[in-house]
Amino acid sequence: MPAPSLTRVPTEGRLRAAITRASAATAWWREQAALGPALARPIATTTTSPAPAGHLLTVPDIGLSCEILLADRLFHDLAPAERQGLAGWIRANQQPSGAWLDDAGGPDLSRTALGWWALVESGDDPEAEHLVRARRIVHELGGAQRGSIEVRLWLAMAGHMPWAWLPTMPAELWLLPTLAWLSPSRVSPWARGVMTPYLLLSRAPAKVHVSSAASLLLTRPDGEPILPRLVQPGLGGDLLQAFDQSVKLIRKLPRGPILGVALARVQRWLIGAQQNHGGWFSVRPTLLSLIALRVMGANYDDPRIVRGLSYLRRARGLARLHGRPHLVQGLTCPPLATVARLVRVALAASDPAGEAAIPFLLAEEIRQSGEWQLRTNAPAGGWPCEAGADKYVDTHSTCAVLDALLALPKDSGHQSQARAAMRRAVEVLLAMQEPDGGFARFERGESEVFMARFPLRDAQILAAGSPTDPARVCVSAAALRQLARLGFQADDDRIARGLQWLWQRVTVDFAGFDLGTLAELALCSATLCPPTHPLRQTVERQLRGRQREDGSFGAPIDTALAMQGLMALEPRPCIQTQRAARHLVQLLDSAPAELAQAALSERLGGAWTAGLGLSRLCQDPSGGVREAALALTRFAEQGGQL
Amino acid sequence: MTAPIATSSDVTVQPDGRYDVIIIGAGIAGCAAAQALALADPSGRRKILLIDRHPGSSPRFAGEFIHPRGAQILADLGFYAALKAAGAVDVDGFTVLERAEGRYVELPYGEIPGQRTQGLAAHHKSLVRTMRQVVRERPQVDLFEGWSIHDLLRGSGDRIHGVALTGPNGLQVKVHADLVIGADGKASQVRKLAGIPEQRQTVGFTVGLELRNAKLPAPTWGNIILGAWGPVLVYPIIRDADGDLVYRVTLDLPANLPAKGARLAEFLLETFVPFLPHPLADQIAEAITSHRGPFEMAPTVNLPAPTAVQPGLALIGDAGGCSHPITASGMTMGLRDAECLAEEARRRVDAPNHEAWLDDSSLRRYRAEHDRYVPTRQALADAIYEVFRGGNEGARAIQRALFDYWASGPTARARSMALLSCAEGRPQVFLSEYLKAARYAIESSLVARHAAHLPTRDRLRQVSGAMQLASNKLGLVAQVMWAQVRPAWLPHDRTFL
C-alpha cells in the first residue's frame, strides 16, 4: 500500500475549510431569505411592520427604487428612514459623470432621468452638482421624453407630457378571444401586468403630484417640449404612427357600450390578477396596478391596496455596494430559484437546515389554476418565481426546486410530499415545451408575441426575450436535465425535440453563451447524452476551452459553475477541475478570517441573472459563495484533491 | 409408482433410453404439457420425460399472472387446488391508473362473457414447485431436475428423434423419443440446437420487488400504474396463512440501463417512486431502501414467433415466441400450447406403438393453432406496451383514447379485456377494437384536458401523431387478421410443415 502523500492532509484540510467557509456564508444568505417563520406566515396578512432588514437575494437596477419614491407621493407609505435609504442606494449607483448605467455599462437615459427625479423627490437640490450632471446627461441623450415607456408614463402622470404622446391601446383588445393574435393574453405575463394598469391610467387620465421634472425635457426655442417619436423609423413605423393617431381620433367619437364593457373587463382582470402575496406579477406591475386601483376609486384603506403595499415592502431589502449596505426596492419577493439553490447547498452539506427548509418549498407549490394554463396543457403544479405567488408558474424556479427536492435524503419524512410535488412539476415542465422544442419560462408563446413585431419603440417589452435568447437555452437545458433525472430519456419524443433544439442553438449561438449557460448545457448533456453525443462533446470542448491560465473561468461564480459542469461530464475530477478548485479554495483562503459573511460574499462576487421586463438583469449577490460551496462539496464527494 | 427425482447429489438415477415425448424445461409450460399429455393417455402406456436444468426452480423471477383462460386450463389439468393450497391468489382483473392523480379504470374479468370470472396469480417459484409436485404424481412422467440438454439427436431427413443430456456431475446420456418439446423459455437451448431462426431482441429489463399488504384500491387485481418511464405492475402473488397478501411489483427499465449496482436503488427511487400514488409510493420506497443485495431482474425480450415445429420437435411457451409482459399473457399462452398439444395427443390416443404418438400431421395442426393466437398476443402486447410507455405523441394520444374508450361503458371494457386476456381471437373483434381506438385517439387529441385555449397546431400535432401510430400499426393488424383467417391447409414457407 503506498504511503500517503505528505501534502495530502494539509490540502484536504484547506478544502474542508474552504467548504465550511463558503457553506457558512451560504447559510447566512439562507437566513437573509428569512426561510421559516417570516415567509411561512400567512401572506394575506395586512402587516404594516417596518421594512425587513434582510439582504435581497436579487438586486435590480435603481429604476424600481426611483418609481417607489415617486409613487410615495400618492401612497405615503415610506418611513423617512426608508426614503433616505432608497435615495442613498440611488446616489451610490450614480457615476461620476452623473449618469446611471445600463446593463452594458453605458449611460442609460431612462435610469438617469428616473434617478434624477427620485433624488429631487427625496429632497436633493436640483441645482446640486450631481443632479446638474445627471440632467446634462439626460439632455445629451435626447431628453426625458425619449426614455422608456415607464419614464414617459411618469412624465404624463406628472403632467409634463400630454397623454397623446404615449402609445395608444384600444380597450377593446381585452374583448378579443384569448387565441387572437392581438389579445393581451398573448403577451408575456409581465407585459400584461404593465399594459393593463397602463390602459386604465391613460384612460383616466391619472395625475400624480410629484416634483417637477420639466427641466429634463428637451424643448424647442419656444419652450414647447419636442414630441417623442412613438414608432421606429421606416414605412411601417409611419403607418403605425398614422394608425395611432387615427385611434386617438376615433376615441373622441361615441363608441356605444363596447368601451364600457371592455373597460369593465380590464378592471376585472386587474382585480383578479392580484396574487396571494398581495402583489401582481412582480413589483413594477404591482406599483402600476396600485396606482390604477386608486384611479378606479379605491381608497388607501382598501384591502387590495394595503396588501399591495405590504407586498412592495416585503420585496424591499438591503444590498451592498462598495462595502456598504443600502435599502433597495427588489424586483420580487425572495426568488424561489435562489432560495432553492441555497437549500440545495445545505442539503449537499448534510446541514439539517436544508431539510428544515423543505416544507417551505413544498408550501410554495402552485396548487390552483392560473392564466399560465391558457396554452399549457397541464394541471396545477410547479413553483412560481417568487415566494408567496400563486398565479404564475416559473420553469426556472420549478427546475431549481426539483433539483433541491431530488437532493433530499431518501429517508426524509418529507419525501412523500416531495414526490407528489415533483410528479406535478414534471407534468408542468413537459407542458411548457414550445413547438420548436425549447421551453417557455412563464407562459407558452411568451417569446413569440405577434404584437412585439410592431414597429413600436417599446414593442419588445411585450415579449419575454426572443426565441433564441441564451436565457431560454438555460431554462430549456435545466428543464431537460430535471426531466432526465426523473426518468425521461432521449427515447421520448419530447426530450428528443428538446435536445435537437439545444443542438440548433449551440451550433448557431455558441459564441454568445456565458459560462452559466454553458455549465447548464454541460449538466444537461451529461445527464441525457452518451459521451459520444455531438452536443455533449461540443459543450465539453467549449467549456474546457474557457479556462484561464490561473485555473479560473473568469469570475468566481463562473469558475464554480464550470466546475459543476465539468464534474458532471467526467467520472472523477480531472486536472482542469482540480485547478479550478484550487483557484476557488485560494480565493476563500485569502479572505481575512474576521470578514463578515456579507463582505465575504461581496469579495467573491455575485452573478447576473435574468430579471423581468424593463429590469432585464439583476445581481445575484449570493451566487459566488453559494455555487463555490456546491462545487467544492461535490469536488470533495468525488474524491477530488487539491 | 413414484417418478425418479434426480438432483445434483443423486447421480445414480438417470433417464431411460426411450420415451414417447421428451419435454425440455419443467417450468409452467413444460409441467402443464407433461400433465396434459399424461391425462391424454388414460391407459398409461405412454412415457414422458420431463427435465429441467434447475433443481427446484429457476432463480430468476418470471411469469406469475395467469388470465382466466389459463386458470381454466390449470383447473382442467388438476393444478388449481394444489396451487391455491400453496398460496396462489384468485385475481379479478386489471386496473389501470393513468398517472398518480389521473384517471382510474377497472377492467374486470367478470364482464367477459363465457369464461371464468377470475384468473390466478402465484409466486413463480411456488408455482413451479407446486406444478412439479403434481406432475411427479403422474406415473407416465419421469421428472429429472438438474439435467440439461446439450444436443439434439437427428435421424434420416434431419428428423429429431432424441436428445443428448448432461446430468449432475457431467453425466451424459442419450435419450430417444418420437417428439421433443422445447419448453425452456425465451432463451431456449432447444430452439438454438434445432437451428430455428429467430429475431430475439432485448427491449429492456424488469426489476421485481416483493411487498407485503400493498395499499391498493383493488387488492386482488393486477394494477398497472402509468406515468413513469415504463409501466409499473403490482399484483398479489401469495396469500399467506394469516390472510396477508404478498405482492409483486415490477418496474420496467430501458435496455441501456441508466444505473447499475448500488446506484440502481437511487435511480428507482428518483424515476419511478415519484410517479406512484400515495401511500403505495411510500411502501415501494421503503421496499427499495430496505432491500439488501442485488435486485431481482429479468430481461424483457421481444421474440416474434419463430417456427414452432420441426419434424420431431415442437416449441411451446416462451420458447415459441414471447413479448413484453405488460399483458401478462405469457403463461396463459404456454398453457394454451400445452392444451393444444394434449388435444392432438388425445386424437391419437389409440395410435399403434410403432407409430409416433404425435405425428407430423398433429404437429402441423398444432402449429396452425399456435400461429393463430401467438401473433395476436404479441401484437397486442407490443402495442399496449408502446401506448403505456407513452414515448411519442401517437402513443400518448392512444393512451388518452383508451381511457376515454374504457370510460364509455362496460361493453368497451369487456371487449378490450377479452382481447388482452386471450379470451377473444375473432379477427372482426380485433379490427373493430383497433378502429375504435383510432377514432377515440383522434377525438381526444382535439380536446385539451387542462389548457383553456390549446393552440391549434398543438392539437394538430397530437392528431397527426395518433394517425401516424395508427397507420404504422395497420400492417400489424393485417398480419394478425391473416393469422386468424389463414386456412390450416395452406403450407408455410421454408418449412416442411
Does A200 score more than 50 pLDDT?
Answer: yes
Q: What is the pLDDT of residue A36?
A: 41
Taking the CA of residue A376 and the nearest CA in chain B, the distance in Å comes to 5
Does B9 score more than 50 pLDDT?
Answer: no
Taking alpha carbons only, the member of A110, A218, A242 closest to residue A160 is A218
B272, B281, B393: residue with CB nearest A416: B281
Q: What is the pLDDT of residue A6?
A: 39
Please give the average per-residue pLDDT across B101-126, as a whole number: 92
- Mean pLDDT, chain B, whole residue set: 88
CB contact under 8 A, B452 and A373: yes
What's the per-residue H, E or C state across A169-227? Answer: CCHHHHHCCCCCCCCHHHCCHHHHHHHHHHHHHHHCCCCCCCCCCHHHCCECCCCCECC
With bands split at pLDDT 50, 70 and 90, how would you rate the model's confidence at A641? confident
Instruction: Look at residue B208 and give its three-state secondary structure.
Output: strand
Contact B254, B229 (CB under 8 A): yes
Residues of B with CB under 8 A from a CB of A: 99-101, 227-229, 254, 258, 266, 269-276, 278-279, 281-282, 285, 289, 391-393, 448-455, 457-458, 461
Does A342 score more than 90 pLDDT?
Answer: yes
Closest CA in chain A for residue B459: A377
A242-A245-A248 Cα angle (round to 5)? 150
A376, A419, A492: residue with CB nearest B281: A419
Taking the CA of residue A177 and the nearest CA in chain B, the distance in Å comes to 9
The set of cell numbers assigned to A320 is: 451592498
- List, in order, residues 6 or more apart from A551 with CB less than 8 Å away: A559, A579, A580, A582, A583
A375, A419, A431: residue with CB nearest B453: A375
Mutate to test the interface with B, among A185, A410, A434, A497 (most CBs of B within 10 A): A410
With bands split at pLDDT 50, 70 and 90, how would you rate the model's confidence at B86? very high
Please give the average per-residue pLDDT across A159-170, as a whole number: 85
- Mean pLDDT, chain A, whole residue set: 89
* A-B Cβ pairs (cutoff 8 Å, strict): 91
With bands split at pLDDT 50, 70 and 90, how would you rate the model's confidence at B325? confident
Burial environment of residue A637 by CB neighbours within 10 A (0 to 12, 13 to 18, 19 or more)? exposed
Q: What is the number of residues in chain A?
A: 642
Mutate to test the interface with B, among A186, A373, A401, A419 (most CBs of B within 10 A): A419
Does A73 score more than 50 pLDDT?
Answer: yes
Q: Determine phi and psi for B18, rounding to 5 degrees.
A: -145, 140
What's the per-residue H, E or C state across A459-499? Answer: HHHHCCCCCCCHHHHHHHHHHHHHHHHCCCCCCCHHHHHHH
Q: pLDDT per residue over A112-127, tens digit each?
A: 999 999 999 999 999 9
Contact B211, B246 (CB under 8 A): yes
Write out chain A residues lying below 8 Å of B258, CB-based.
Answer: 489
DSSP A388: T
Cis peptide before A205 (omega within 30 of 0): yes
The set of cell numbers assigned to B489 is: 391447409
Q: pLDDT per residue over A595-630, tens digit each?
A: 888 888 988 888 888 899 889 899 999 999 999 999
Taking the CA of residue A429 and the nearest CA in chain B, the distance in Å comes to 14
With bands split at pLDDT 50, 70 and 90, how would you rate the model's confidence at A304? very high
Question: What is the secondary structure of A439-451 as a DSSP string?
Answer: B-SSSTTTTS-GG
DSSP B277: P
Half-sphere exposure of B61 (CA within 13 A, CB side): 20
Write out chain B residues lying below 8 Å of A423, CB-based.
Answer: 99-101, 227, 274-275
Q: What is the pLDDT of residue A10?
A: 58
Please give the average per-residue pLDDT across B248-264, as a whole number: 87
With bands split at pLDDT 50, 70 and 90, how would you rate the model's confidence at B492? low
Ordered by start, the domain boundaries in chain A are 15-32+331-637, 61-222+229-327
Does B74 score more than 90 pLDDT?
Answer: yes
Does A49 score more than 70 pLDDT?
Answer: no
Q: What is the pLDDT of residue A53?
A: 62
Give A37 or B339, the one with higher predicted confidence. Answer: B339
Mutate to test the interface with A, among B288, B453, B461 (most CBs of A within 10 A): B453
Say which CATH architecture domain A15-32+331-637 belongs to: Alpha/alpha barrel (1.50)
Domains A15-32+331-637 and A61-222+229-327 equal at CATH topology level: yes
Contact A107, A141 (CB under 8 A): yes
CA dihedral defined by A16, A18, A24, A27, rounded to 10 degrees? Answer: -100
Weakest mean pLDDT among A162-176, A351-365, B4-18: B4-18
Give B59 or A419, the one with higher predicted confidence. Answer: A419
Does B381 score more than 90 pLDDT?
Answer: no
Closest CA in chain A for residue B447: A377
With bands split at pLDDT 50, 70 and 90, how would you rate the model's confidence at A484? very high
Burial environment of residue A612 by CB neighbours within 10 A (0 to 12, 13 to 18, 19 or more)? buried
CB contact under 8 A, A179 and B453: yes
With bands split at pLDDT 50, 70 and 90, how would you rate the model's confidence at A306? very high
Does A82 score more than 50 pLDDT?
Answer: yes
Taking alpha carbons only, the member of A464, A455, A458 closest to residue A166 is A458
- List, in order, residues 6 or more apart from A24 with CB less than 8 Å away: A597
Contact B440, B451 (CB under 8 A): no
Q: pLDDT per residue over A417-475, tens digit each?
A: 999 999 999 999 999 999 999 999 999 999 888 888 887 777 888 888 888 888 999 99
Q: What is the pLDDT of residue B2?
A: 42
Q: What is the pLDDT of residue B305?
A: 79
Please give the average per-residue pLDDT across B259-265, as a whole number: 84
With bands split at pLDDT 50, 70 and 90, how would you rate the model's confidence at B10? low
CATH topology of domain A61-222+229-327: Glycosyltransferase (1.50.10)
Q: What is the pLDDT of residue B493?
A: 54
Taking alpha carbons only, the member of B111, B113, B102, B389 closest to residue B232 is B389
Q: What is the pLDDT of residue A48?
A: 42
Mutate to test the interface with A, among B445, B458, B460, B468 (most CBs of A within 10 A): B458
Mutate to test the interface with A, among B225, B226, B264, B275 (most CBs of A within 10 A): B275
Question: What is the secondary structure of A285-332 as a DSSP string?
Answer: HHHHHHHHHHHTT--TT-HHHHHHHHHHHHTEEEEEETTEEEEEE-SS
Q: What is the pLDDT of residue A43?
A: 37
The set of cell numbers assigned to A244 is: 395611432
CB contact under 8 A, B101 and A178: no
CB contact under 8 A, B461 and A406: no
Q: Determine phi and psi for B124, rounding to 5 degrees.
A: -55, -45
With bands split at pLDDT 50, 70 and 90, how would you rate the model's confidence at B453? confident
- List, in order, residues 6 or more apart from B162 with CB less than 8 Å away: B22, B152, B153, B174, B175, B176, B177, B180
Q: Can you name the residues that pair with B206 across neighbouring β-strands?
A: B252, B298
Closest CA in chain B for residue A432: B451
Weakest mean pLDDT among A403-407, A574-578, B290-294, B423-427: B423-427
Q: What is the pLDDT of residue B11?
A: 53
CB contact under 8 A, B457 and A435: yes
Please give the average per-residue pLDDT across A44-49, as a whole number: 39
Q: What is the pLDDT of residue B157?
A: 77
Please give the average per-residue pLDDT across B78-93, as a whole number: 95
Write out chain A residues lying below 8 Å of B273, CB-based.
Answer: 419
A420, A485, A487: residue with CB nearest B272: A487
**Torsion sign (Cα): A576, A581, A582, A586:** positive
B229, B273, B457: residue with CB nearest A419: B273
For B18-87+122-196+304-358, CATH number out of 3.60.15.10, 3.50.50.60, 3.40.710.10, 2.70.240.10 equals 3.50.50.60
Q: What is the pLDDT of residue A37?
A: 39
- List, in order, residues 6 or more apart from A621 with CB less than 8 Å away: A29, A55, A56, A57, A59, A319, A320, A601, A602, A606
Q: What is the pLDDT of residue B6?
A: 46
The set of cell numbers assigned to B33 is: 404439457
CB contact under 8 A, A377 and B449: yes
B26-B27-B29 Cα angle (round to 5)? 100
pTM of the model: 0.90
CB contact under 8 A, A431 and B461: no
With DSSP H G I counted as helix, E B as strand and the rest as coil, what are the percentages for chain A, rounded to 5?
55, 5, 40
Q: What is the pLDDT of residue B12?
A: 65
Please give the average per-residue pLDDT across B213-241, as a whole number: 93
Question: What is the secondary structure of A51-64 as a DSSP string?
Answer: PP-SBPSSB--THH
Q: What is the pLDDT of residue A316?
A: 93
Q: Can you name the residues that pair with A44 across neighbouring β-strands?
A: none
